[in-house]
Structure formats: C-alpha cells, structure tokens
Amino acid sequence: MKYLAIATAAIAFMAGPLSAAESAAERDARMAWWREARFGMFVHWGLYSGLAGDWNGKMVGDSGGLEWIQQRVGADTHTYAAQAFPKFLPKPDFAREWAKLAKRAGCQYVVFTTKHHEGFALHDSKLTDYDAGDLLNRDLVREITDALRAEGLRVGFYHSVIDWHHPQYDFRKAKGLPYPKDGPAVAPTPRDHDRYIHFLHGQVDELISNYGKVDVIWWDYSSTGFQGDEAWRAMELLEKVRAKQPGVILNNRLFRIPEAGFNGMGTDSVTNRMDPKYGDFVTPEQHIPPTGLPGVDWETCMTLNTTWGYNRHDHKWKSDETVIRNLVDIASKGGNYLLNIGPTGDGSIPKETVDTFSAIGKWMAVNAESIRGTTASESGKPAFDGRLTRKGAVHYAHVFKRPADGRLTVPFKTSKATLLAGGQALKVTAGDKQSVIELPTELPDPIATVIRCE
Ligand code: JFZ
C-alpha cells in the first residue's frame, strides 16, 4: 500500500498540476451541471446591507452599487465598521428563505459573497477578527451553505480579492481598483502586499477546506494595471484551489489580460477567447452579449434594480417581463443568467425581489425544460418576436408577441408542435428549411409562450 501511494504521488507529481492534465472530455464533464443549469441566484450581503444606502442618517444615492458605500462616502475601515456593525443583525434561519426562493425560482445554484471589497468575512476565520465568527459568534458561510444544500442547490463562493480592511493590502499598487480611504487605525505604512496575498490565500484555504464541496468560486476583480500573479499570485492560488476542489468551476476575474478573455477594463470587454488555465467562464456584467460568445462558457450577472448590495432608496426594479425574457434571451445564446438579490441587514429579501423571483418560478414550473439543458439556437434570432433554444432534436420557440396573422414561421423542419403549457397540439405545415405553426388566438403566457417542436 505504502509503495503504491508513493508511486501514485510520484506519477501525479510528474504529471504536473491537475489543471494541466485535464483533457477536453474531462473538462466537459466537470462543466456539465453548470452548462445545463442556465440559471443561478447571486447574493450580495455584508455590512453594507445594514447601512441600506444611508450614511450618518442621510441617503448616499438612489442608484448604483451601494455595496461600495464605504468608497462612496470615503470612510476608512474603522469609521465604516463602527457605523455598519450595529446594523448587521442576521435573523435566525435567514438562509432558508434565500435557498427556498432560489429553488422555487428554478435556480440550480447560488453564488453568495463570502467577503466583498469591504473585507468583512462571513465565515468564522482564524486569520482575522473582522469576520462573522468574531462579531456574531456565528459562521454565516456554514449557515448559508447548509441551507443551500438542504434545497439541493449547488454552492458558489463569491470572494473579493480587493480588500479595504486588511492593513497590508497595498491600494497604492492596486492601480485601477477602488479604495475608499487610508485610515490611521489599521493602516501602518508602508504596506507589504505579500503579507496580504498570504492572508488572501489563507482565507481561501479556509473556505475550500471547511465547507465540503464548493461548486463555484467567483473571484472579484482585477484591473489591467493590477492583476494575475503580481496582484494575487493567481496561478498558485488556482492550483491550490483545484488540488483541494477538483470539481470546482472558476471565473476569470483574477486576471485582466487577453489570454484570460478580456479586451480591456470595461465590464463589457469580455471576449470569446479564453485559455481555461485562467478560469472556466467569462462574466459579462449588467448586459447580454448581442450574439452570445460562441466558443466560451459565459454567465451574465445582473442586478434586479441598480445595486448589488441593498439600498432602500433604489426603486428602479426591472419588470417580471424583462427578467424572464432576459433568461430566455441568454439561454438562446448559450449563456447562464446569474440574477442578483440584495438582502437587508437582517438577511430578509425585499418584497419586490421575492415577487419577481416567484414570477420566474411560476414561469419555470411550466417552461423549465425549454431553458435547462438547452443549447444556443444556431439560427440566431428568429424572424418572429421571440427566441429559440434547442435540446438535441427538439426545438423550443419562445414567443414574446403573437404575429398578427397567428402564423409562426420557424427556421427548421418540424411536424409536431405543442404548447408547453398544457400540451395542446398546434397545426403545423412542415417544410424542409422552415415550418409554419398556427398559434391559438390568445397566447397562454403574455411574457413568453413556449412551443415545443419535434
Ligand atoms: C464588481 C464589484 O465591484 C461589484 O460590487 C459587484 O460585486 C460586481 C458583481 O462585481 O463590479 C465590477 C467589476 C469590474 C468592473 C466594474 C464593476 N470593471 O472592471 O469595470
């Protein structure tokens, strides 16, 4: 046994890091659940959630990302924490509400902030006292992770590599990345960024060692002026993560270079070229690539109003129609939709958010088979107002608006068309390259009616 173990270790060592040894087929197998899922929930929750968009009792703004409130008001970490701490009061069982809502909406996975730029860790970290373990005597990462698994959901950790609290994080080196204010309380100068990197790797090790299987890690983020090995010793970090979590799926935000799928700085600068050694998927933010990103795995992340972290002043909620059609649009282009919720300081989910996720759930209860496990439609946008997805020989036509004459022309041959809601058969005239489906006078779903075509 002992010799066998030594020999195995020697072979593994000679083969180099696990990541390099992965074949295309192994990668496909690892990515399979994520590609099938098509829909996940994003959660931004931290000390900023309790502040709810207010500072010194006044509104900071009614739009934009208020998880950046510390930066918006220019507070050092000590001043920030003194005001935010007392307002961060997670109620018992908050995580069950998140998990149940995600499940009901038809999400297959949830990615939540283990630490955002503010630096406050939601797990019980041995490496800092700026964490839920020290503040609340709770491990919020465990509570959330347990609740998600109880609903059969996959677990994703968002982790900010930017850190506004750690005294050695060198914001002067971090060109192009945000920083609120240097403060005397925790900021001796000069800073030794290597010590911050050591801390970052240490906290990530806690997260990948103590919570069982981690399905996704969602790093955030790098600039063209500060990224990769220089900023985070990124390759070493990725190797450590892949060694302990061989099945994990990683985004590419430890980098900001063309090889990792970026053209430049903007969040719309992701490309359809990406070497998997830098990550598994690219992350268009707040927008949907007009024609998808053929050749790479991609996930659009989006807010429901205009902020990621809770802001009680932000009322610019997207309609149910917008988010359901976004989900359809993204699936028709072969991507995933990671739709954000920003719970309040006690972990409650705003009513508008519950309503919209419930509406998605109602739609998914009938139509999930036209989203989950589908691939992009190779014919692109159809001639009618709607979208197409496909699962092997089956095509799904998502009709947003009924053509005036009730005749839906689809760009493929089909002889059997049924309404996914209810299963009613529709009259079809099949042609070689296109077919015409007769729609009922009234579409059952004014947002997106799905027709299953065999
Ligand atoms: C980042 C975070 O700063 C933000 O708070 C949120 O978590 C979001 C999902 O990710 O947002 C970014 C990241 C990169 C850029 C802009 C916003 N960028 O490079 O322009």
Residue 251, exposed/middle/buried by CB under 10 A (0-12, 13-18, 19+)?
buried
Domains of the chain: 2-374 (3.20.20.80), 377-453 (2.60.40.1180)
Whole-number percent of the chain with pLDDT over 90:
91
Whether pLDDT at 189 is above 90: no
In this structure, the strands spanning 449-453 and 417-419 are: antiparallel
Ligand 1 pocket member 221 (CB < 6 A): yes
Give pLDDT, residue 2.
40
Distance 39 CA to ligand 1 centre (A): 20
Ligand 1 pocket member 46 (CB < 6 A): no
Mean pLDDT (the chain) is: 94
Looking from the CA of residue 266, the nearest atom of ligand 1 is 20
Whether the CB-CB separation of 336 and 298 falls below 8 Å is answered with yes
pLDDT band at 186 (very low <50, low <70, confident <90, very high): low
Distance 221 CA to ligand 1 centre (A): 7
- Spell out the residues 6+ positions from residue 235 whose beta carbon is closer than 8 angstroms to its own: 228, 229, 277
Eight-state DSSP code of residue 218: E
Pocket test for ligand 1, best of 218, 221, 300, 306 (most atoms within 8 A of CB): 221
Whether pLDDT at 161 is above 80: yes
Q: Please state, in angstroms and as integers, the Cα–Cα distance from residue 75 to each residue in 72, 84, 151, 221, 311, following that order.
A: 8, 11, 39, 21, 18
Nearest to 115 by CA among 227, 224, 244, 218: 218
Instruction: List, in sequence order, the alpha helices (H) in 277-406.
Output: 320-332, 351-367
Give the pLDDT mean for 85-102: 98
Give pLDDT, residue 379.
81
- Hey, what's the torsion of the CAs at 366, 367, 368, 370, to 10 degrees? 160
Ligand 1 pocket member 176 (CB < 6 A): no
Whether pLDDT at 6 is above 60: no
Distance 246 CA to ligand 1 centre (A): 27
Report the Cα 282 to chain-centroid distance in Å: 10
Give the pLDDT mean for 446-452: 98
pTM confidence score: 0.95
Q: What residue type is assigned to position 178 of the chain?
A: P
Give pLDDT, residue 20.
57
Looking from the CA of residue 158, the nearest atom of ligand 1 is 7
Give pLDDT, residue 21.
81
Q: What value, to the nearest 5°, has the Cα angle with vertex 186 and ends 164 and 112?
A: 30
Which residue spans within 128-267 are E strands per DSSP?
Answer: 154-160, 216-220, 249-250
Nearest to 284 by CA among 297, 300, 272: 300
Q: What is the pLDDT of residues 27-50, one digit of tens each?
A: 999 999 999 999 999 999 999 999
State whether the Cα torsion 91-95-100-106 is positive or negative. Answer: positive
Q: CB 180: neighbour CB atoms within 10 A?
A: 21
Ligand 1 pocket member 308 (CB < 6 A): yes
Distance 68 CA to ligand 1 centre (A): 10
Give the pLDDT mean for 7-14: 42
Q: What is the pLDDT of residues 339-353, one digit of tens each?
A: 999 999 999 999 999
Give pLDDT, residue 7.
43
Distance 188 CA to ligand 1 centre (A): 27
Q: What is the pLDDT of residues 385-398, one digit of tens each?
A: 999 999 999 999 99
In this structure, the strands spanning 449-453 and 281-282 are: unpaired
Three-state SS for 425?
Answer: strand
- Spell out the residues 6+ positions from residue 129 whose beta carbon is closer than 8 angstroms to its own: none
Residue nearest to atom 14 of ligand 1 (CA): 267
